[in-house]
Amino acid sequence: MKWSYTWLQQHAQPSFPFDERVMIDPKRFASIPNLLGIHDIRVHGEGVFQSSSGHLRIAFVVEGIMIVPCARTLEPLDYHFSTDWEQTFVFGAPTSEDEIGLSGNVVDLEPLILEQIITAVPLRVVKPGAAIPSEGRGWSFQEEDLNESSDPSLVDPRLAKLKDFFKEK
């Protein structure tokens, strides 16, 4: 998604809506471990250009479907995401920290779209109805109750006197 300075000046109205489907190369996300794939990316929003100051304010929403691993079973899972952002671009030198200064004559929204997708990747997603496996090839899960009545040799001898600390009160 790119807009040139000349197109923005020639556009009849200062505001313009946009709505596009975006294709992103999967290699761009190869270094992100929790992201197996991404598809159906839609970017929509509105831009407002002030020709007198050279400011372009863009408010947009990025939404789509990520393929992420289930935290319990590691099976691929479709995860719908939606994130919104607002950014101001300046043709020339920025006047505040919130603005992005442009050295050329083209506004490219792709780096911000990639940033929004990366920040929307969840840390953990559990597939509905996913059960934790209790056994597998050569292993099984056994639950033990490690409380005071179990083997006293499991208590660290350096901390053994702490158990008597609260008995006095």
Instruction: With respect to residue 125, please indicate whether it lies within any of the assigned structural domains.
Output: no
**pLDDT at site 156:** 78
Same domain as 99, residue 45 = yes
4: pLDDT confidence band, cut at 50, 70 and 90? Answer: confident
- For residue range 25-77, list pLDDT tens digits in order: 888 888 888 899 898 999 999 999 888 788 889 999 999 999 999 888 888 99
Range of the domain at 11: 2-119
The answer to whether the beta carbons of residues 15 and 47 sit under 8 Å apart is yes
Task: Give 41's strand partners.
Answer: 22
The answer to whether the beta carbons of residues 146 and 89 sit under 8 Å apart is no
Q: What pTM value is reported for the model?
A: 0.69
What is the percentage of the chain residues whose pLDDT exceeds 90? 25
Instruction: With respect to residue 129, please indicate whether it lies within any of the assigned structural domains.
Output: no
Distance CA 40, CA 74 (A): 22
**Structural domain total, the chain:** 2
Same domain as 30, residue 93 = yes
Same domain as 111, residue 150 = no
Beta strands in the chain (DSSP E): 2-4, 15-22, 37-50, 55-69, 76-91, 99-102, 106-108, 135-136, 139-140
Same domain as 101, residue 27 = yes
Identify the CA nearest to 92 among candidates 107, 108, 110, 114.
107
Neighbouring residues of 14: CB distance < 8 A, sequence distance ≥ 6: 48, 49, 50, 51
